[in-house]
Amino acid sequence: MNHRQANSLAQTWIEAWNRHDLDAIVHHYATDVEFTSPFVPALSGDPSGTIHGREPLKEYFRKGLQAYPDLHFELLRTLTGVDSLLLYYRSVNGLLAAEMMTVNGEERIQTVHAHYVQE
């Protein structure tokens, strides 16, 4: 993953979220994605904090968009790794968030570990 690819993915990901375009959002993820977030237990009822697969992730995101109808993300920084990127952004209710994402050979997000500042 080079800096141009990371920035492109970050931009289209943020734009899809800010449009609340569920299909565009999930298009970024691999079919066998593994997504871990502190919000998972509250929105999905799964205490593990992890969602497996694009279809369950789509339902989780649908619940998130319904729960936060004014959701708007502000991208602050994109950091690039070997086959990964880290998005640092302002999230739901202004929370600072960082998502570390690994990306597969098809430039789809394979794994996600979301982190939030708990203030």
Q: Render pLDDT for 21-77 as a digit per residue (tens, 0 to 9).
A: 999 999 999 999 999 999 899 888 889 999 999 999 999 999 999 999 999 999 999
Q: Is the pTM of this model over 0.75?
A: yes
Which pLDDT band holds residue 13 (cuts at 50, 70, 90)? very high
Query: Using CA atoms, how far apart are residues 71 and 27, in angstroms rounded to an integer?
Result: 19
- Residue 78 or 46, more confident: 78
CATH topology of domain 3-116: Nuclear Transport Factor 2; Chain: A, (3.10.450)
Amino acid 9: pLDDT: 96
* C-alpha–C-alpha distance, residues 22 and 90, integer Å: 19
| pLDDT for 119 | 63
118 falls in which pLDDT band (50, 70, 90)? confident
Cα(42)–Cα(86) distance, integer angstroms: 24
What is the spatial distance between Cα 39 and Cα 63, in angstroms, rounded to a whole number? 11
What distance in Å separates the CA atoms of residue 42 and residue 112, rounded to the nearest whole number? 17
Sequence spans of domains, the chain? 3-116
